Structure 1
Amino acid sequence: MKRLYRFSIRLIIVIVGLWVAGFLNFTRPWILPESVAAGVCSGNPIGVYRLLAHGADINARMPGWSFDGLSLFQYFDNTGCQKPFADPALGQILFSHGADVHQETGSGYTLLMLAVGEGSETNVEFLLAKGVDPNRQTQTGETALMVAVRFANMAIVENLLKHGADPNLQNQKSETALMMAAGYGSTATVISLLKHGADPGLRDKKEQTAADHAKVEWRRDAMALLENLPAQE
C-alpha cells in the first residue's frame, strides 16, 4: 500500500513537472507577447497580465489576426485559437481589465455569433446573461439565430428565442431564419420558430417563402408542415 502511495505521489509530481515545463517552454511568460491577442492564443495568462499592466488596450484591434485581433474573440475562439495552456485565470484577467462583450468585428460579427457557431451552450448563456443583443446583424444581415438554425442546435435556438431573438429579421437576400430552417429540413427548428412568431408568409428577394425553400431543397417534412399551416387572417 505504501509503495502504491509513493508511486502515485511520484507520478503526480512528474505530470505536474511536465505540465509546468511545457507551459514555460511554449508561452515563455518572461517574454512579453507581441500583443494581447498573441498572449491569449498561446494561453499565457502571465504574459497577458503583464501586457495589460504595461498599458495595453484590452479592446484594441490587431490587423492580420482573425476577428480583427480582438482579444476577447481570441479567448472565445476554440478553432483557430486553441489556447493549449488556457485556464479560467485568463478569462478573469480579460474581464477584470474591461474586455467588452458587446464589441464587434468590422463586418459586424459578434461574440454571440462566434459562441453559437462553435456550439458552446455555456458561452451562449454567459453572453446572453451579460445582456448581449441577440438581434445584432452583420453587414450581410446575418444574425446569431440564423447561425444557430444552420447547425440545427435546438438548445441554442430555444435559448436565443427565449432571450428575444427576432425570427423575422432578414439578411441582404431577405431570407429569414425560418426560410433557412426549412431549406435545411429541420422540422424541429421550423416548429420552434413558428411558436415564437416566425412569419411563414415573408418572401425573399426571389419571392420565395419558407415553404418554397423547403420545396427547392426537397425537404418533404418541412414542406408538408409549412404548406399545411392554417391560413393567417
Structure 2
Amino acid sequence: MDFEYMSAAAYGEYVTIDEHLAKVKFRSGTDIQEPNPHEIINMQDSYGLTMLMEAARNNSYETVEYLLKHGADVHLRDRNGCTALHYACSEASVKIIQLIVDSGADVNAQDGEGKTPLHYANEHNRNDVERILITHNANLQIRDNKNNYPLSWLNSFK
C-alpha cells in the first residue's frame, strides 16, 4: 500500500487522500494500470490495516467520514482479526464510533482472540461506547478465547 495514503489517514489529512484519488480518477482513462479509487480506499498494508482503521485509531472524524462516504469497507479485518470498530472502541470519539456503527459495522465481530468491540470498550473504561454498542444490539454473552465476557462485571457470574 502507498505509504502516503496510510500516513494521510493516520494524520487526518483527508484532503491529501482526496487529491490523490482525483489524480487516479483523472488517469483512469489512460493506459496506466492503477487501482480504482474504491480499491485504493480499501487497500491494506502488510499488517492488514486500512486507511479507515488508521483514521479511527487516530481519532480523525473528518477522515473517517470522508473514507466512509467514498466506500471504505467497515467489515475489513487486519491480520489480528480487528475491524475499524475494534480500533475505534479503544480510543476514538463517540462521534466516530457512532459513524462507523451507522455505516453497518458488525458490533459483534470477534477478533483473533475472540474479543468483540464491546470487550475493547470495557478494557479501556469506555462506558459511553459500551452504551452505544449495547443500543446497537451488542451481545453481552459472547466470551473471548479466555472465556471472559465483554463486560468485566459479568465475569463474577461465571
TM-score (norm 2): 0.78
SS at match of 2:41: coil
Gaps of 5+ in 1: 1-67, 217-222, 228-233
User: Does the Cα contact within 8 Å between 2:11 and 2:55 map onto a contact in 1?
Assistant: no
- Distance in 2 (CA, whole Å) between partners of 1:155 and 1:138 is 23
Give the aligned residue type for 1:147.
Answer: Y
1:93 aligns with 2:23: yes
- Distance in 2 (CA, whole Å) between partners of 1:137 and 1:192 is 21
Structure 2 match to 1:115? 55
Q: Which has the higher Rg, Structure 1 or Structure 2?
A: 1
Task: Give the alignment partner of residue 190 of structure 1, picking from 106, 110, 130.
Answer: 130
How far did 1:73 drift?
A: 2.2
- Distance in 2 (CA, whole Å) between partners of 1:74 and 1:151 is 18
How far did 1:117 drift?
A: 1.7
How far did 1:183 drift?
A: 1.7
1:180 aligns with 2:120: yes
- Distance in 2 (CA, whole Å) between partners of 1:136 and 1:87 is 19
After superposition, residues 162-181 of structure 1 pair within 5 angstroms as 162-181=102-121
User: Does the Cα contact within 8 Å between 1:152 and 1:189 map onto a contact in 2?
Assistant: no
How far did 1:88 drift?
A: 7.2
TM-score (norm 1): 0.55
Structure 2 match to 1:75? 8
**Structure 1 vs Structure 2 CA RMSD:** 2.8
- Distance in 2 (CA, whole Å) between partners of 1:101 and 1:87 is 9
- Distance in 2 (CA, whole Å) between partners of 1:170 and 1:87 is 29
Percent of residue pairs identical: 23
Task: Give the alignment partner of residue 101 of structure 2, picking from 130, 144, 161.
Answer: 161
Give the aligned length. 145
- Distance in 2 (CA, whole Å) between partners of 1:90 and 1:108 is 21
After superposition, residues 5-24 of structure 1 pair within 5 angstroms as none
After superposition, residues 12-161 of structure 1 pair within 5 angstroms as 68-78=1-11, 92-94=22-24, 96-97=26-27, 98-99=36-37, 100-161=40-101
Give the aligned residue type for 2:9.
Answer: F
Gaps of 5+ in 2: 28-35
1:199 aligns with 2:129: no
**Residues 89, 182 of structure 1: CA spacing in aligned structure 2 closer, same or farther, 3 A cutoff?**
closer
Structure 1: which 4+ aligned runs deviate by more than 2 Å? 68-79, 86-99
SS at match of 2:45: coil
